[in-house]
Amino acid sequence: MPNYKSAYKRILVSGGAGFIGSHLIDRLLEQGHEVLCADNLFTGSKRNLDHLHDNPRFEFMRHDVTFPLYVEIDEIYNLACPASPVHYQHDPVQTTKTSVSGAINMLGLAKRMKCRIFQASTSEVYGDPTMHPQKEDYWGNVNPIGTRSCYDEGKRCAETLFFDYHRQHGLDIKVARIFNTYGTRMHPADGRVVSNFIVQALKGDPITIYGEGQQTRSFCYVDDLVEGFIRLMATGTDITGPMNLGNPVEFSIRELADHVLDLTNSSSKLVFEPLPDDDPQQRKPDISFAKDALDWEPQVQLREGLVKTIGYFDHLLRQNYAL
């Protein structure tokens, strides 16, 4: 039996009741760690954690990261922040506070505990990019006063804080920039394109496409993303990031709609609405850094991941869950 202190950790996952956070917690528990989940349940759901209630190595704490947290842990994953436009624009001031004050509080905890800390950043730091695909050394094209800036600039400031704590205090940091991710446990009403299309198709409602559907996204299945998290967190102190994690295979929004219609055998019609403000026209990560440093690249193809995600939402619908 390996020594507990050397082999296993007590790990804090802030935002752990969310879609991505709950999958990360599953993986960490599978590896034998103890996990403390801190979440204020603004967008996360206890439903995502129901299967863990009897796990003696899992603990849930209702907590808002804009307030300091004093716990004993060995490692931190900071995932706390609403990530879909519908949710982060609902209370934009709180969104910025969650990214900025939340980062300060989690970094302060990591400094006190002298432990490694992971920041879930986003491809939105690139804004509406003029570089395609996006590499980590691209500084971005972000509107600092637009309706999306609470999220975009909040995450950019969080990255600033992480690297300043690294330079000033020698903190051991890892920063990942997440590109569009989908999969089971997505919130049915989160407003993101994959969940929107699937729910609309399953209910037979019109599928809403903004613009002409020619804007592109790169869709990464959640299991692949979590694998990237785990591998980045396990690297040496010479690798801090920021590191792009996402699927480099690019699809237009119209192509995504066609895949969903085909896989759900839905009779839903397409309807077209004006593009939202500052909606990026292209999203595609350059993942050369992750390939070289982590030997990582996504394994789940879009249609395979969509089948799993459609099955999840279909199950919710059959349970009369309010989609």
Q: Encode 219-278 in three state secondary structure.
A: CEEHHHHHHHHHHHHCCCCCCCCCEEECCCCEEEHHHHHHHHHHHHCCCCCEEEECCCCC
Residue 277 pLDDT: 74
Decide if 307 is inside a domain. Answer: no
Structural domain containing residue 120? 8-182+221-247+284-299
Nearest to 278 by CA among 126, 138, 81: 126
Residue 308 pLDDT: 98
Per-residue pLDDT of the chain (323 residues; tens, 9 = 90+): 233 344 799 999 999 999 999 999 999 999 999 999 999 999 999 999 999 999 999 999 999 999 999 999 999 999 999 877 777 788 899 999 999 999 999 999 999 999 999 999 999 999 989 999 999 999 999 999 999 999 999 999 999 999 999 999 999 999 999 999 999 999 888 888 999 999 999 999 999 999 889 999 999 999 999 999 999 999 999 999 999 999 999 999 999 999 999 999 999 999 998 887 767 788 899 999 999 999 999 999 999 999 999 999 999 988 877 65
Decide if 322 is inside a domain. Answer: no
Site of tokens 């939340």: 102
Distance CA 214, CA 255 (A): 9
Decide if 208 is inside a domain. Answer: no
Looking at residue 228, which CATH number applies to its domain?
3.40.50.720
Choose the catalytic residue: 151, 165, 182, 221: 151
Decide if 61 is inside a domain. Answer: yes
Decide if 278 is inside a domain. Answer: no
Contact 157, 99 (CB under 8 A): yes
Q: What is the pLDDT of residues 19-72, one digit of tens each?
A: 999 999 999 999 999 999 999 999 999 999 999 999 999 999 999 999 999 999
Residue 323 pLDDT: 59
Decide if 260 is inside a domain. Answer: no
Q: How many domains does the chain have?
A: 1
CA dihedral 308, 314, 320, 322 (to 10 degrees): 70
Contact 140, 125 (CB under 8 A): yes
Residue 151 known to be catalytic: yes
Q: What is the pLDDT of residues 264-304, one digit of tens each?
A: 999 999 999 888 776 778 889 999 999 999 999 999 999 99
Contact 228, 176 (CB under 8 A): yes
- Name the E strands within the chain: 10-14, 34-39, 58-62, 75-78, 116-122, 173-178, 181-182, 207-210, 216-218, 220-221, 243-245, 250-252, 270-273
Residue 322 pLDDT: 60
Decide if 37 is inside a domain. Answer: yes
Residue 278 pLDDT: 66
Decide if 306 is inside a domain. Answer: no
